[in-house]
Amino acid sequence: IELNLDTKLGVLYNGNILFKSQNYHITGEKIKRLGEDTYHLDKASITTCDACPPEWSFTGRDVSIKLGDRIKARDVAFHIKGVPVLYSPYFWTPITRERQTGFLFPVLGHSTTKGFRIKQGFFWAIADNRDLTLYLDYYSKRGIGQALHYRYLESPKTDGDLFVFHIRDSQLNKNFLKVKALHNQELPYDASGYLNLQMVNERDFYREYGLTLEERLGKYLESNLHVSRPFSGGRVYFLSQYRQSLEGSSEEIPQSLPELGFVLNTTRLGPGSFNFNITGNNFWREEGQRGQRLDINPNFYMNFGRTITFSQRIGLRGTLYALNEPDASPSRSLFESQSILSTKLSKRYTPFLHIIEPSIEYSYILPSVDPEYLPGFDSKDFISKTSLVSYSLTNRFAGNEREALIRFSNGYNLLDVARPFTPILAEAALLSRNLQLKINTTYDIYEKTITETTASATLRSEKSFISVGKAYRNSIPMNLYSLEAGLDSRILNLYSRLWYDVKGEELRELNIKATYKSQCWAVGVSFTRRPQDYQFLISIELKGIGSIQNINRWF
């Protein structure tokens, strides 16, 4: 060791430096200390592995180290267990726990429809509360995609997230563009707002570049701009909604641009309670009828009894329209009544509590105008005459950290002479710390068939779970089975999901994701199988050098 006691500068021969913040081990024949936080080595070995020999390391020359900032070197070779496998003329990496600007580790993959893939990202730490990630996404059969992901946090109630992806698809000879944004804004006078934007330029975007089965099966994208201001007992709001069809043209979809609303929350009024809503909408679309609508809806509530409870709601609705085709101003008045008679019976047994809840409900709606004479902008225009008796029987069981539910419900339509009974709905659930069972099914007594079923069973432990499910609908038709499982341990993370289409007798989608973590490195792999495609992704992390990419998402 050569050390100047006054300046604290000097040379360490055949030494080893350990930077604890990121566990950097730096070994060299001659280590020069040039300043309080600056070092230089003619030749050096760099790793974050504790093992000897290290599982991976970089060797290079002209190595410069600045504490709390970075390491850079020239003529760098990457070694695995002491064997050189890669070479780079230049090397740079941050050595700080804080976010640092720099290149991310690339993600490699292959797809039958898109070919070989390499995704390279660059992370820019703009400020403590802002960052930007830029991506180049190369597909050998499709072209080069570009993406940006911008995040910001201006205050606890003002933040946002912007993502943009574009690719010129050389195989399909067209551009694909996706924009997704979320912004939350704190406003003066206790007001607040948010923007949720989702748009694509081609309706088959998710069929070609969708990440999940849910995205590829979606029918609409919806964007919202919402601003609200609460007051004592209610709120006023501004809402704009735009829906984009993923199945056909969006030109005939009525868009609410905008909606203004006044909401008076439920408040006491004599022996009952009262609430009040006013909405004004401007409906616009490229083709078809446009217009404005004013809707006023007061509701009155009454509750009687304790052992046997009777609840009554009386609602009035007045609706005015100003339409452009034809130039007319129709109106509608509507009377609503909902009466519910219910009770609750319970008995305590040694291991559990049993609760029985019978209920009967009568709903009556009398509009002054049939829905076919209204413009049909949204669900408020489709309220039709109703006279329906509904009844249900619910059994609940609770005890020993377990809960169970069994419910049967049905309805009788007084306006339907031919088929007055609605489908029977049966629901059952068993909930405990480690086991969850749920099933809902409807049965048509006239067709003598099950029309819809959703079921799931999930078994959980502290670090793993497995779940099976079923989704059946006779009207579409749809008959899907799902299997999902996961494991989260100290060194291994596994996740898998499978969708099987019984109707089509094919595997709709299979996802398998795995991450293996060692002391100083990790590797993640992802495999996706679809009817006409399979995809494989791999990402590597060297602790202290780069982060493993989120293989649950492609963009």
**Bridge partner residues of 166 (DSSP):** 146, 177
Do 513 and 107 meet the contact criterion of CB atoms below 8 Å apart?
no
Query: How much is the pLDDT for 328?
Result: 77
Name residues whose C-beta falls within 8 Å of residue 83's C-beta, 6 or more positions apart in sequence.
Answer: none
Q: How far apart are CA 552 and CA 20, in angstroms?
A: 31
What ranges make up the beta strands (E) of 400-519?
402-413, 424-431, 435-444, 449-460, 464-473, 478-488, 492-501, 506-517
Please report the DSSP string for 338-403 in residue order: EEEEEE-EEEE-SS-EEEEEEEEEEEEEEESS-GGGS---SGGGG---EEEEEEEEEEEEEETTEE
- Classify residue 285: in a domain, yes or no: no
pTM score of the predicted model = 0.82
Instruction: Report the pLDDT value the prediction gives residue 174, as an integer from 0 to 100.
Output: 94
Asked if pLDDT for residue 550 goes beyond 60, the answer is no
**Residue 530 pLDDT greater than 60, yes or no:** yes
Neighbours of 198 (CB within 10 A): 18
Residue 21 falls within a domain, yes or no? yes
36 falls within a domain: yes
In a domain, 479, yes or no: yes
Q: What is the pLDDT of residues 409-461, one digit of tens each?
A: 999 999 999 999 999 999 999 999 999 999 999 999 999 999 999 999 999 99
Q: Count how many Cα atoms sit within 13 Å of the Cα of residue 514 in the half-sphere of its side chain.
A: 7
In a domain, 396, yes or no: no
For residue 359 the two structure tokens come to 């209920």
In this prediction, residue 337 carries a pLDDT of 97
Lowest pLDDT segment from 206-210, 312-316, 441-445: 206-210
Last residue of a domain, one of 94, 122, 142: 94
Comparing 37 with 429, the larger pLDDT belongs to 429
> CB pairs under 8 A, 24+ apart, for 160-167?
160/184, 163/555, 165/137, 165/209, 165/555, 167/137, 167/139, 167/142, 167/143, 167/209
Could you give the 3-state DSSP secondary structure of residue 209? Answer: helix
Q: Which pLDDT score is estimated for 406?
A: 97
Residue 443 forms part of a structural domain:
yes
pLDDT, tens digit (0-9, with 9 covering 90-100), for 232-251 = 999 999 999 999 999 888 99
Range of the domain at 72: 2-94
Rounded CA separation 3/12 (Å): 8
**Mean pLDDT value of segment 127-148:** 94
Q: How far, CA to CA in Å, does 280 sit from each of 113, 320, 382, 428, 551?
A: 48, 10, 17, 41, 45
User: Mean per-residue pLDDT for 162-186?
Assistant: 96
Is residue 47 in some structural domain? Answer: yes
Domain-terminating residue out of 47, 74, 94: 94
Residue 370 domain-assigned (yes or no): no
Phi, psi values for residue 416, rounded to 5°? -110, 100
Q: Mean of the per-residue pLDDT values for the chain?
A: 91
Quick one: DSSP state of residue 4? -
- pLDDT, residue 552, reads 32
- Choose one of 45, 64, 94: the last residue of a domain: 94
Q: Looking at 317-321, 335-339, 481-485, 537-541, which range is the least confident one?
A: 537-541
> How high is the pLDDT of residue 546?
55
Q: Where residue 555 falls among pLDDT bands split at 50, 70, 90? A: very low
**How confident is the model over 35-40, as a mean pLDDT?**
87
Side chain identity, residue 3: L
Q: Indicate if the pLDDT at residue 97 is higher than 70.
A: no
Using CA atoms, how far apart are residues 286 and 283, in angstroms rounded to an integer?
A: 11
Structural domains counted in the chain: 2
